[in-house]
Structure 1
Amino acid sequence: MTGQRATQETDLPTPPPAPGTSRPGGRTARTRAAVRDAVLTGLVEHGYPGLTVEYVAEHSGIHKTTLYRRWGNLEGLVVDALDLAGEDSWTPPDTGSLEGDLRALAQTTAASFEDPAAAAAPTAFVAAAFQSERAADALNAFYAQRFARCEVIVARAVSRHELDRRTDAGALVRAVISPLFLRLFITREPIDGTLAAQSADAALAAARAGVFNSPAESA
């Protein structure tokens, strides 16, 4: 819920670290990966305000002229880094029960932020989204895709008669993750496995009570 560096002219990115990131082959992909890694490193070290095209050029080995020609500006580099994240092979957990799936999803999210080094890049992307409208749009698209992939969790639960077919999958998954993100990015409080389990269980109880049933189909 990111890379090897090239030293010659090659291309770019990925976003919040996600397991199973895949990179297509070829020179363009290597260039994109090199630039992506430089963007991630720069965001972690300097934040969005301190990141420059010059920094990306120096740390990726890609000439500044090429960066401007292919990505336009710094925003384009950051947006592409997020876009590439959506090309990974991540899939939601499949434990055999809705409770297990939601708990596993919450636990995985919490665990991904336990290591400060691993959490630095996704945190930097969130910060960039507060300062760049294009970065915000890209981050929104990234998580929208993640939530869409999680729809299968609800589909399986419906097939097992664990949930009403009217359940809004996106609303349920957001309810699982939101308490964690509130602490991570707003109140800056620590999160752990206990909080993850509580978040999942609360969302599950609400779903079973019909809180997330689609209004359009509830009549």
Structure 2
Amino acid sequence: MTSTPAPGTTRPGGRTARVREAVLRVAGDALAEDGFDALDLAEIARRAGVGKTTVYRRWNAPGALAADLLADMAEQSLPRSDTGSLHGDLTENARLVVKTLTDERQGRLFKALIAASLCNAQAAEALHRFYEVRIGEWAGCVTDAVARGEIPAGTDPRAVVAAVSAPLYYALLNTGAALNADDADRAAAAAVAGARAGVWVGEG
């Protein structure tokens, strides 16, 4: 028995892909400007120049639209770095996080999506999936470092990668501090030091 995909989870092509691109662009702008409450499907359809019926049929709720937006962002994110060292790779990761969070549009967009995840189950699931995909992408930096003998065998790759971005998101959401390259470099260095010390051995 086949199951029906959840709204906003299929990957279309052709004209449908162009419709999706237009709607997600407008939805992202609305989120960045006014937050999750601005995701009125009829208004999004109007601003995107798309039929309202098409939008309701494909996404059916603001949460599904936010979920598809996050899925698209995960697809568009840059692949992990491969500098030849754990410190170099995690520094690149941290700098990418800071670049994203300090971007005028992307920073506001992430704040809106995080806020949406606190009150909308679809948005929460999508946000968790987004970070699972991105952490999984960068986990290879850690497994490569284990293979090179930089850090102990048994180190949990996902825990190390999560440790890089955790202090940066904390600063963004809880302190309001303006992030910069020094913050990125410190976060990466701390994660590398912890990994070398075996902090995340056996965590997976």
Instruction: Assess same fold via TM > 0.5.
Output: yes
**Matched position secondary structure for 2:155:** coil
Cα pair 2:146 2:152 within 8 Å, conserved? yes
Distance, in Å, in 2 between the alignment partners of 1:45 and 1:149 is: 29
Cα pair 2:194 2:200 within 8 Å, conserved? yes
**Matched position secondary structure for 1:87:** helix
Match of 1:158 in 2: 146
Work out which of the residue numbers 172, 185, 193 in structure 2 matches 1:205: 193
Deviation at 1:125, TM superposition (A): 1.6
Root-mean-square deviation (CA, aligned residues, Å) is: 2.0
Counterpart residue identity of residue 142, structure 1: F
Q: Does 1:42 align with 2:42?
A: no
**Matched position secondary structure for 2:80:** coil
Q: Which has the higher helix share?
A: 2
Tell me the matched-pair count: 196
Cα pair 2:156 2:203 within 8 Å, conserved? no
Work out which of the residue numbers 14, 17, 21 in structure 2 matches 1:26: 14
Cα pair 1:53 1:64 within 8 Å, conserved? yes
Cα pair 1:43 1:124 within 8 Å, conserved? yes
1:8-23 equivalence runs, <5 A: none
Question: Deviation digits for residues 6-40 of structure 1, max 9, x if unmatched?
Answer: xxxxxx89xxxxxxxxx975111111111111110
Match of 2:121 in 1: 133
- Decide which moves more: 26-35 or 42-51: 42-51
Cα distance change of structure 1 residues 24 and 159 upon mapping to structure 2, 3 Å threshold: farther
Deviation at 1:155, TM superposition (A): 1.7
Distance, in Å, in 1 between the alignment partners of 2:56 and 2:104 is: 32
Deviation at 1:131, TM superposition (A): 2.3
Cα distance change of structure 1 residues 53 and 24 upon mapping to structure 2, 3 Å threshold: closer
Unaligned stretches of 5+ residues in structure 1: 1-11, 14-22
Cα distance change of structure 1 residues 103 and 64 upon mapping to structure 2, 3 Å threshold: same
Counterpart residue identity of residue 209, structure 1: A
Cα distance change of structure 1 residues 85 and 118 upon mapping to structure 2, 3 Å threshold: closer
**Matched position secondary structure for 2:112:** helix
Unaligned stretches of 5+ residues in structure 2: 1-7
Match of 2:3 in 1: none
Alignment identity in percent? Answer: 38
Distance, in Å, in 2 between the alignment partners of 1:129 and 1:80 is: 13
Cα pair 2:159 2:203 within 8 Å, conserved? no
Work out which of the residue numbers 168, 174, 193 in structure 2 matches 1:186: 174
Cα distance change of structure 1 residues 77 and 177 upon mapping to structure 2, 3 Å threshold: same
Cα pair 1:42 1:55 within 8 Å, conserved? no
- Decide which moves more: 169-178 or 185-194: 185-194
Distance, in Å, in 2 between the alignment partners of 1:51 and 1:45 is: 11
